[in-house]
Amino acid sequence: MPAFIAASVIASLPLETAAQTAKVPARTGTQINLSFRPPLSRVLRYRIRVTKYREGVPITPKPVTWVEELRYEETSSGYTLYWRMDPMGLAPEMRAPQLAMVIKPFTGDPIAFDVDAAGIVVRVRDWPQALASLHATVEASRTLLLAQPGATPALVDKVSASVGAQFDALTAETAPSVILKNIDPILGWGAGMSMRVGDVREGDSEVPVPLYGTSVKAHAKVALVAADDQSATIVDEESVDPASIAQLMARVVQSVGSDKRPSLANINMASSVTVTVDKPTGLVSHFRSETREGVKGPLVQQIEISWQR
């Protein structure tokens, strides 16, 4: 659950690591204003690296890495964003025949999204076609699911029907965060942010989880920590309300019709995010997040997203 999304509500911008081009660092108190001016008609490649942990130890020997592509075209009301996964940029494990079939609907022709002038994704342009792609992934997943320990055709049918129903409940407006799940953390950060270096903003937010028809409560503390001629660096410390997580997990369990009811009383998740925003374009050039069980607990997941210029 990308809790750090709440930071965009609090501060209208993203978060990242230290400025990558350190010319003329801005002094504390310098006003920084960001606006969204993406390069047009150009494929923007972002490399995503994900490492998942169990009890603080990486589950896999190395991060899972792949590339997603964005392209912006200007319209009368903002932009059209074209997105797809680069089939040549997939990690070897993602090219395995069974998994490749699940990903295939998103590696062909790009899916189009309407984006407003501030860079916020508003809706999927052709929702029926995008929905068909989502259902294709469900069907392609059956072989993978059947290979899992304890899986039966009846159980796989039940899970597939549940996921398909969740997709059907989405709309053109709520579907983008599901389709763009992996690249979504970098979108919308350059949308009209205005802060001074050293400023800290703090507040609460409701983060939508459209796939399960609910939301979670999050608390974000966002700071603009550095800036230079080319970039601005933002750091966000964010925690999700444990009761909200428990409610969400109960919905997840309920959605697959499981009789199991895991202990949900003490779930506590905290994320630390650093984002570097490219000032000329308002695009995120680098994003890194760490999610832990509690503020000082063991790592659960690390995500790094880098613009491959």
Burial environment of residue 265 by CB neighbours within 10 A (0 to 12, 13 to 18, 19 or more): exposed
Note whether 246 and 265 are within 8 A (CB): yes
For residue 239, give its domain range. Answer: 3-307
Annotate the chain with DSSP letters as a single string. Answer: --GGGHHHHHHSS--BSS-SS-SSPPPTT-EEE----PPBS--EEEEEEEEEEETTEESSSS-EEEEEEEEEEE-SSEEEEEEEE-GGGS-GGGGSHHHHHHHGGGSSSPEEEEEETTS-EEEETTHHHHHHHHHHHHHHTHHHHHTSTT--HHHHHHHHHHHHHHHHT--TTTSHHHHTTTTGGGTTTTSS-EEETT-EEEEEEEEEEGGGTEEEEEEEEEEEEEE-SSEEEEEEEEEE-HHHHHHHHHHHHHHTT-------TT--EEEEEEEEEETTTTEEEEEEEEEEESTTS-EEEEEEEEE--
CA atoms within 13 A on the CB side of 254: 8
The pLDDT tens digits along the chain (309 residues) read 343 443 333 333 333 322 222 333 445 678 888 899 999 999 999 999 999 998 889 998 889 999 999 999 999 999 999 999 999 999 888 888 878 888 989 999 999 999 999 999 999 999 999 999 999 999 999 888 888 888 899 989 988 998 899 999 999 999 999 999 999 999 988 777 788 999 998 888 888 888 888 888 888 899 999 999 899 999 999 888 888 777 777 777 766 555 554 444 456 788 999 999 999 999 999 999 999 887 788 899 999 999 998
> How many whole angstroms separate alpha carbon 190 and alpha carbon 119?
7
C-alpha radius of gyration, the chain, whole number: 20
| pTM assigned to the model | 0.84
Structural domain count of the chain: 1
250 phi, psi to nearest 5 deg: -65, -40
